[in-house]
């Protein structure tokens, strides 16, 4: 009889061989490809890994990783290029003059500190954290995904009108290389009968006739479409081509242009 406190080993039954049915239903962990390398299971190959699979439905389709900035300065210059444009040189002084001059800077700075800068910081922080576009970034909170679509619509409208302003600027740049500036003299088809070659604004209409009648070619109203200005159209096409070559390499070239 064994003594007290000593465990008696129990006989373990021999392992039963796996049945053929069990072998057929069991899924292999990996399969050997023709190249002699192990390929992952189908479920593992379809599953997304981290943020790269956020854009796929259910996160089951693997997408290539997004590109990152080469240097921190590239990201900073891209933000500056997005925030600073012709509006800072052309539109902002006009708004200051129209709304009280220097007094306009008081509410402008206040709103910039309270609303503009915090929202801008939230936008770039969320984009850097999720590493996704303006739509997929809201996978962090699907309830607000409509904000992503709304931002895309706003960016589309802003780009379509802002590129037109760049086309006008490019048109003036081309015309400025002529020997005699077209808006400095009278005798053109777009000049009004009241045009005189003097430099007093109250007596001369040649400065306003050139942009209204030559560049914009304003018609009598919306019901009169008018003719197509081919010169401005070519300038618009040239601006779109320049924009394409500025961003065609993604973040590798955006911060350097």
Residue positions forming the annotated binding site for Na(+) = 81, 83-84, 88
- Are 159 and 169 in contact, with CB atoms under 8 Å apart? no
Task: State the DSSP H helix or E strand holding residue 39, giving kind and residue range, or none if neither.
Answer: strand 38-39
- Ramachandran angles phi, psi of 68, nearest 5°: -120, 165
Q: What is the C-alpha to C-alpha distance for residues 257 and 74, in angstroms, rounded to an integer?
A: 9
Q: Which residues contact 35 (CB under 8 A, 6 or more apart)?
A: none
Q: Which residues contact 225 (CB under 8 A, 6 or more apart)?
A: 219
Q: Which residues contact 219 (CB under 8 A, 6 or more apart)?
A: 225, 226
DSSP class of 88: I
Structure tokens at 86: 């012709």
Which residues contribute to the annotated binding site? 81, 83-84, 88
Rg of the chain in Å (alpha carbons): 33
Q: What is the C-alpha to C-alpha distance for residues 152 and 129, in angstroms, rounded to an integer?
A: 19
**Closest to 171 in 3D by CA, of 159, 160, 183, 185:** 183
- Are 71 and 84 in contact, with CB atoms under 8 Å apart? no
């Amino acid at each position: 009889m064994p003594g007290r406190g000593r465990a008696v080993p129990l006989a373990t039954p021999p392992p039963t061989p796996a049945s053929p049915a069990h072998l057929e239903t069991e899924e292999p962990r990996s399969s050997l490809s023709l190249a002699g390398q192990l390929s992952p299971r189908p479920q593992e190959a379809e599953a997304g890994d981290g943020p790269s699979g956020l854009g796929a439905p259910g996160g089951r389709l693997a997408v290539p990783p997004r590109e990152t900035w080469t240097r921190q300065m590239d990201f900073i210059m891209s933000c500056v290029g997005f925030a600073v444009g012709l509006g800072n040189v052309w539109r902002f002084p006009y708004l200051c003059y129209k709304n009280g001059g220097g007094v306009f800077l008081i509410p402008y700075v206040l709103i910039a500190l309270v609303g503009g800068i915090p929202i801008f910081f939230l936008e770039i922080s969320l984009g850097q954290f999720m590493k996704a576009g303006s739509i997929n970034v809201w996978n962090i909170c699907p309830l607000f995904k409509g904000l992503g679509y709304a931002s895309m619509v706003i960016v589309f409208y802003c780009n379509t009108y802002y590129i037109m302003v760049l086309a006008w600027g490019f048109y003036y740049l081309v015309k400025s290389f002529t020997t005699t500036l077209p808006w400095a003299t009278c005798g053109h088809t777009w000049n009004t009968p009241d045009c005189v070659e003097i430099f007093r604004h109250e007596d001369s209409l040649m400065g306003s006739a050139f942009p209204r009648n030559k560049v914009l070619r304003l018609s009598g109203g919306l019901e009169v479409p008018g003719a197509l200005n081919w010169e401005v159209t070519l300038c618009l096409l040239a601006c779109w081509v320049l924009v394409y070559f500025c961003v065609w390499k993604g973040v590798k070239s955006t911060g350097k242009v």
